[in-house]
Every structure is written in structure tokens, then in C-alpha cells.
Structure 1
Amino acid sequence: MSNPWIDLPDEFHAGVDPAHPERSDTATHMERFRSIRHGEAYLAWSRYQSIATIYDQLVVNSDGGFFIDRYTEMVTRVCREDAITRYRADQWVGEALCLRDRLPKVATTLRDGILSRELIQTVIARTDLISDDAVIADLDTDIEHSLRSRKGAWSKLTLRDMVDRLVFRHDPDAVRERRRETLDKRGVWTDNFIDGTGEITGVMAAENIRIAEKAVKALADTVCAHDGRKRNQRNSDAMFALLTGTIFECQCGRDDCDAEIPDPAEVVRSVSTEIVIHVVTDAAVIEGAPGIGWVDGHGVVSDEHVRDLANRPDAIIKPVTPVRTPPVRVVADDASDASSTEVVFVYPGAQAADPYRPTTACAEFVRVRDGYCIEPGCPCSSFDSDLDHVTEYDRTNPARGGATSSENLNAKCRFGLLHKTFGDWIDLQYRDDDGRLVTEFVTPEGFTILGDAETLEDFFPNLRRIRYEQPPQAPPTPRVIAGDDTPPTTNRLASKHARRRAERARNRRERERREEIDGPPPF
């Protein structure tokens, strides 16, 4: 049987010859990756279209059967053609009907390669409980607008948070009611497996889940380096010890084991007093105004949930700006800000004794702003990540660039930071014409990969009006964060930093040239 996909025109392969892929360079293959990703999304959209059409032909416009209903007939066609289970085929059918009947505009983003099928499933799941047709229609429009208007990549977590934020905006009462209903259904369940093991599941408030998880990991990490169990195995044993009050032991078998295993009850008391659950919200929400909050490790929560957390006896409420440090008020007048008359509040960004190190307030603000590690798709929390100077700080000549400021800092997981430090990639961070913070990653061969499209600035727009700068009197950082391209070089590290500064300056000029000719990208 012939396969027409083999003979696709060259443009579908982004210039790579399928018969001789080794003749194309890495940058061309990266373009091919992107083309294939868009193609996979289009094919998923096409499949959804055909499924919906077959549904109309076999189910809607047909008389029902006696022993086997028409819907089963339809699902059977899907599962047997793809050699998948009926459960998975039923998923495909349900998603196809949801996209056609509830989220037709979001479906077009799958067709155009903005979202993948996996991400479309996230949108479907997070909007599933909306029952009002008018609300779902407005939500469909707003989600599509966000997906098409943002410059950046969508990971599962950032997309989930964006959709949850819009769901709460359109149907806040339903969100609050669902939370109360879910809390009423909390409990503990067990299931026995045939191989002598079992599973225990507990449903509880998000903050209690974080505390319980922290307690389990804290006890599991007290063993010595020679313990032979994997992390999940140690977590399982630690959880049993905490639930039953029994002893948790290191299993290295060594006479000179140096592990100091605490009593499980002591771990619980210690963790309960030391764990920090980061919750970000507007001050007005705590005082009773409608709005949302964001819980590190969980995502979007309702205003009612935020106030419940704020009223806990162990809650500590801190503003994201220094209390005792008056800000410098600056009227924004560059194109990077949403309004030419918007007032930006500027605070000291670097420690006076060491300009390389950000102040505690600046570091906390950057983590609040980013929410997650800025590596596309990385689920690591910004509060568990390191802070990195996007444009490298020059210790020999700080005036060359790389300021310790909120606009030149972002959160990276440990791997992302080490890869930036020792690798040859270049990352960029700048504000676009709408004032949104954009991150980009440039591979050594010059291929640009966009960072996440969503930060907590999109949840709490007032964060865009806050800057931490070096020195504190300086105006807000210019739109493009890049140093000059002619620094002297004295060693290998300085040479690498100089090359990166030159590359950033070149990228900036190229981006401005493209926008001047073509205008900003559509999405």
C-alpha cells in the first residue's frame, strides 16, 4: 500500500530531505521539529472533525438499535481502526464533541498548531464543569484570544492556570460551590492489589496536601547516602511510619551508618512549624474583594480559599514590596509599557555591599512574578529555583550590563541554571509592546525557542508596575535587556559573556527590524 505522507512537499519538512536527513544542519532539523509539531496538531484536529461528522451520521441522524446502540457502533469504529481500547476511543469522541459544541474557537488553535492534543485535553478538563451555554461561549472566546495574542510557549501548568483564571472570572460562584462540594467529599480510600500490595488515597485541602507531602519527604530524606531504596520506596515507608507512629530506619546495613532518624512525631511537629506554602493574591482579596489567588504547587484558588488560608493562625502575610523602603515613582514613557502615563514604582534591586546579589525583597518579587521555572514546560516552582542574571553580571565592569534588577533576573531550576552557566545557549528577556515580559532561548546554531507565555503578571497586573533596579534612582529598565557588543575579553568566561552580549544585541536589532517591517507577531 502506498503512503502519500512519504511524498509530502519539502515545505512540510521545513527544508529537510526525508531521504537524506543527514544533509541538513541542526537548525534546519529544529525547524522540522516545529513543522512536525504543527502537523501533529492539525492531524488531531482533522481526526476530531471526522469523529464529530461520523457521530452525526451514525448517532444523531439514525434510529437507535435494540441490542447495540448507535453510539457504541460509532465508538467501535474508532477503536478498531486505531487498535485502541474502547475507553480511549470514547475519550476521543467526547473530546471531539466538546470541541465542536462547546469550544469551537479553541479548536481552531489546535488546527493552527498553537496547542497540541495533550494541551487541548487540559482546556477541556478545566472547563468541563461549566454548564451555562452563554458562559462557555464567552470563555471559549477569551481562551482563544489569550492563546493567539501571547508570544510564548504553553506548558501544561501555565495553560491550566490561565484557563482556571478565566473560569473564575466568568463563573466565580460555581468555582466556590465546587470547592465546598469537593471538601465535603474528602476522605481516605484503600484498594488492594493482587500482588500483595495496595494503595491508600487521601483527598483533602490543597494546603494540607502540601504539609503532608513535606512531612513524608522530610522523614524519607533522613537516611544516609548508602540506603539502597529509591526515593519513592523511601517515601512509601516514611508515610507508613508517620501514619502508624512506628520507627523509620535506614536500610544501608552498615555498622557505621551516620543517619540521624528522628521520631516520626517530631518530624510532624517540625514540618508543621517550618513548612512555607506560598500564596499570591491581591491585598483587596484578603479584605473581602472578589478575585483569585495562586498557591505554589497547586495553581489557582478562589477568593474564599485565599481568605481561609489568610485566617489560619500560622499564616504570615507579607507584601511583595519593602515596607520601610519608599519607592521612586517613575512615569513610564517607553513603548514597553501598556500606557505612556503609567506610574512604575522602583525599589532597590541589589544589596549595597554586593551589587551582584539581589535584595531579599527583589528575589522574592522575581519568584512571585515568575511562579514557575522559566524553562518551557518545566514544572519546578520558582520558589524552589535559583535566580539567574539573564544578561550575565560583569564583576570586572558592572557598567557593561547584566544589572541586578527584576527585569534582568528570572527563576531557573538547578538544571536550567547549570545549563545556562556551562552551556553555549543564550537566553533573552524583554518586554514587548504590550508590556508583557517575554523570554526566549537561542540555541548555539541560532534557533530561537520561545519561553512560557504566562506568568503571574497575567494574574495580578499590578506586578507590572513594580521594578527593582540598580541603582535605586534609575528609571525602569529599557525594553530590551542586552549589553553592548564590544567588551574586552580576558579569559574564556569573559569571552563567552562577550559573545553572548554581542548575540543579544544582534537579536535585538533583528527583532526590531522584523517588527518594523511586519509588525508584531499575531501570536
Structure 2
Amino acid sequence: MIETLAGPGTEVDDDLTASGLLALARDRKAAEDRAAADLLDLAARWADLHPPESIHHAATFTSGRGMGLEVEEPIAGEGCPTVAEFCVAELGTVLGISIVSAKRLIGHALELRHRLPRLWTQVQSGGVAPWRARMVAEATIHATPSLTPEAAGWVDAQVAAVAGRVGPAQLDRLVAETIKRFELAAADPAADPEDGHLSVDPRHATLHDQDVHYAGTMHLEADLDIADALDVDRVLTHGAELRKALGSTESLDARRAAALGDLARTQTALDLHRQGGAGPRDGDDLPPAREVVLHAHFDASLDGLSTVFGPTGRLEEGQRLLLLEQVRAWCGESRTKVTVKPVIDLNAHLEAPGYEIPDRIREQVLLRDRTCVFPWCSRPSRRCDADHVIEYDHDAEAEGRPQPGPTVTPNLAALCRFHHRLKTHTAWHYDVIGPGEFEWTSPHGHRCRRDPSGTTALDPPGIPRPRRP
């Protein structure tokens, strides 16, 4: 039988043999890599078209590192051209990715083209998979301390020599060797008594609070001093054994995880002793031991004089499904403070005189929108501004004109600070088309609809519609 491999976008022949399917899979992967390489090239070209007006308008990443203060980090390393911050949004919108992902794409493209040219050439010729090259670019962009162009070039030569075939662990060692070879760290004999150069401090404790598991858990990772790590391990082992002695039937891993929570709530551990018969429970006058704030939303109905909650709800933190049983378990923990707020009708038309937005209207808007309403943005609404979709005119009342942008629910939307600035200072524009539904138009005429279910591109590829006057 003669086998014909389908081209991109065509149906696959159901009669293909195993060898035919493998050949088609190989071709599809090659096409995917070619498209990814082309996308890197296009991202770099897009950056070339949009240099910033000044260094203060260059695109950066914002992180919380630095003694609790937000710090800005460049999207590509020293020697790469800077990029106008607002141009990133339109590229991300067309690609259907977030602003952070778009910055990362452009940053990787510039890093590869300007600081890792050997790897860039291999990617564009098909010798190295783009995802491998981007992994290297990510490491050289965010190395601590920062890599000079010469140091990045040395990494480029080492990686290109093996056609990009390095794993994360090898890459970490290579970057560390580069820092040492080029003496990039400040000389501090106490940090490294052998040579006084390499002083990278890997310690950290990071909670990935944007990745909430459906089971109601978050991922915590940390690198500690050896002594601290051993102390923590002993405490968790002891806490797990204590919970088992008190009757817990959970797995060892679950008991160790719970013991880690007890470290943050030392009084809760004391209550466990009392529940096990070690003493009277006379601590009801003590303050709540748990201070974590979670916002859970459940549908409720009245059954006579009782309120009946639905079995599933939504947790604002992480936008995840939540089970009522999970909430009951959390509330059953020692001295957990629970606050039940009145129901807010999301369909009610609330309004206020003047420009300032009262708390009751702001809360309604944040609950309705859930996240920033810019296309593809997922920043939680509680970390957003409440924006007047139609700008509030502060001179309208004094000049006897009707207010074009009143402070009413339909004219308000949740926008993160970046997209709020984008809407204020660029040609981006959006309109309200329904409760919690918005239509955005980019400077080049691409349109998207954003509603509680997500983002939908409205224009066929390559056929943008002009912005409405």
C-alpha cells in the first residue's frame, strides 16, 4: 500500500500503518520546531520595530526580591536592545498569551540573537530545538550575578558545541562555572574561603501561590542552610510521629506537611496535645492562631430557616474548584477565624456620585470580573484597579455637561496596573458589551472579547478590522 502523509492542517489518513504514523509524527514535530524558530525571529523583529522612547519606558519584569521591595529586571541581558513596554501587549494578544509570556518570548529571542549567536544560528537552521535554546536563554538572562556579554558568549560556545543538549542541572553547573571563571561575584573571602569569588547565595523559600491544586494545596520549595534543613527535617519527623500517636491515619507525607503548618502556628500544636488528653482545653480566650485569608464563594439557598450551601464552590486564590468539605475541614482547625460576608448581587446596578469608588461597588466589580479583564491576563482582581471604562470627566459638572463616565457598575472594570496604564497611555480601547463582558481593540485593529469564561479572538487571522471612531 502506498502511504500518503497529510500536510499541515489536513486530515490524517485512517489507514496509515504504524510506520506511516511515526513518519507523520516526526514531520509534525519538525514543523512545530520550524514554527517555533520562526516565532522567535518574528518576536525579535517586532522588538526592532519598537525601541523605547527612553530607558524608563523599556519593558521589564517586576519581582518581589529585594527586602520586600519590588525590583525591575530586564527581559534580556546586557548588550541586548531594550523594547518599548507597551508594544509587548499587542504581540501577546495576537498570540493568545499573557503579557509575562510575551515578555519572556521577546526576551529569549533577543538574548539568543545578540548574546547567544551560535545557539541562535543552530535554532534557525533546525539543529537545535527552540525549547532547548529558550531554556539556555532563560538561565543566562536571570543568572545571579548577571552575566556580562563575554560570559554569556562563553556559555554560548559551550552549549553550541554539544548542539544544545544540556539539561537543567548541567546548565546550572555551567552558569555557576561561568560566574567563577569570569570573576563576576564581588570578592568576599568569607563567602568562599577557597578563592573569594563565587558568592552566589542559593537560599530561598518560595510559595507558588498562583498554582493551587484542585485538592486545595499549594507548592512550597526552599533551599536552606544545611543546619537549618536538618533542623526542619527533625521537627517534621517529630511532628509526623506526634500526629500518628494522637490517632492520625494520614500518610507520612501528609503528616509531615501538616507538621510544617504547625511551625507557622505553634499554638495549634499545643492544642493537639490538649486534644490528646495532655491537659485541659482552656485556651478559648486566646487569639486565632491562623491568619491566612482565603476567599471562597458558594451558591446558597434557604431550606426553611437554614442556609444550604452547594457542594462545590470557587476559591479566588488560584481560581480553583473548591469542595465544601475542604472548607469544613479548614474551619475545624484550632481557632481558625471564619468570616461570612453578606451576599452581593452581581447583577445589581450600583452607582455613586463623584469619581471615588465606594467599597461596596469596588467589591461587586472585583467579584464579577474575578481577574483583570484585559485579553489573556489572569492577575486576580483583588490585585487590580477598578477602572472607569469611559473616562470620568472631572470638569463636566462645573461646565454643566452630562457626566460621560459615571461611577456606576456597568462603567467599571478590573484592570491590573500595567493594563490600566496601557489603556490610559496608548491607542488600546475597550467597550462594555454586557455585564462583565468587554470588547478590546488593539492599535493595529485586532479585536478580542473578554468575559468570565475567558478571551475570544474576534478577527480571522490576517484580517484585522479597523478601530471604531
Normalised-by-shorter TM-score class: 0.3 to 0.5
> Higher relative contact order at CA 8 Å, sep ≥6: structure 1 or structure 2?
1
Please report the TM-score for the alignment, with normalisation by the length of structure 2: 0.39
Structure with bigger helix share is 1
Please report the TM-score for the alignment, with normalisation by the length of structure 1: 0.35
Structure with bigger strand share is 2
